[in-house]
Amino acid sequence: MASSSSTPLPNGPLKIAIIGFGPFAQFLAQTFLKQGHILAATSRSDYSLLCSQLGITFYRDMDDLMEAGIQVILLCTSILSSGDVIRSIPIDRLRMPLLFVDVLSVKEYPRELLLRVLPEEADVLCTHPMFGPESGKEGWNGLPLVYEKVRIRDHALCDNYLGVFQAEGCRMVEMSCQEHDEMAAKSQFLAHTLGRILAEMGIESTPMDTKGFQTLLQLRDNTMKDSFDLYCGLFARNKFARQELEKLDLAFKSVREKLLERTKDLELD
């Protein structure tokens, strides 16, 4: 759990509507609530009971959510469903000014989508908190928030939103969505792929695990906590990911060949 002390709000509470109230949104909501922000949510599934326990207004109907006087819409759906979800937002009922934020683990895709679908008057902030329910359970201090201010006119509102993460001690990393995707393919996507390969192999702890092997078990466990949809999204909606998958394949073949070549003539002593 993130630390339970509440942070004073110099600019008053933000009214944030979350679209997609799955595991990651629920994790973020804990900290937003702790800081005193006012939350509303909608999702494909019915989270009305959970939301009422948390003090969040849950809307089954997105039209009603648009009437709720919100300042920030936070898109937290799976990467693969986000296109359909964004297109299903009743745009004509949006009340401006409004800040649209997404948290998708890929960035160029939602950037282009939001710019294409949203009205010109809506501000757009693309973010990727580089942590989740597992890595952020002890708090967010020092954990990176990557973001690009894609189209911002209401700078105060945008800064207030980013201030939520600053107040928790996040490392604020401003970079373009393209830079993010290039780096994420070489790091996050690679880590998820290796974690899933290890799970596929069925690796198990032994009574003599080395530190290195424990790291592999940890990677497998962390990776498998995320949905397969999330992994598919990291691949399908990041144009740099396919190249990394091919590099991994080639690297495996190269290591295998070198190993077999070097050892092929060794006789048993």
Q: Using the rule CB under 6 A, give the single segment among 140-148, 206-214, 225-233, 258-266 that binds ligand NAP.
A: 225-233
Nearer to ligand NAP, 14 or 79 (CB): 79
Which three-class secondary structure string do you get for the chain?
CCCCCCCCCCCCCCEEEEECCCHHHHHHHHHHHHCCCEEEEECCCCCHHHHHHHCCEECCCHHHHHCCCCCEEEECCCCCCHHHHHHHCCHHHCCCCCEEEECCCCCHHHHHHHHHHCCCCCEEEEEEECCCCCCCCCCCCCCEEEEEEEECCCHHHHHHHHHHHHHCCCEEEECCHHHHHHHHHHCHHHHHHHHHHHHHHCCCCCCCCCHHHHHHHHHHHHHHHCCHHHHHHHHHCCCCHHHHHHHHHHHHHHHHHHHHHHHCCCCCC
Binding-site member from 41, 56, 65, 76 for ligand NAP (CB under 6 A): 76
Which one of the spans 40-48, 118-126, 186-194, 243-251 is the region binding ligand NAP (CB under 6 A)? 40-48
Applying CB under 6 A, what is the total number of residues that bind ligand NAP?
Answer: 24
Residues 115-174 that bind ligand NAP (CB under 6 A): 129, 132
Binding of residue 222 to ligand NAP (CB under 6 A): no
Q: Is 105 in the site for ligand NAP (CB under 6 A)?
A: yes
- Among 16, 17, 20, 244, the residue binding ligand NAP under the rule CB under 6 A is 20
85 binds ligand NAP (CB under 6 A): yes
Residue 60, token pair as written in the block = 């089954």
CB of 133 to ligand NAP, least distance (A): 6
- CB of residue 71 vs ligand NAP: minimum separation in angstroms? 21
For ligand NAP, which residue of 3, 13, 23, 167 counts as binding (CB under 6 A)? Answer: 23
- The binder of ligand NAP chosen from 108, 148, 226, 244 (CB under 6 A): 226
Question: For binding to ligand NAP (CB under 6 A), which residues are involved?
Answer: 20-25, 43-45, 76-79, 81, 85, 103-105, 129, 132, 226-227, 229-230
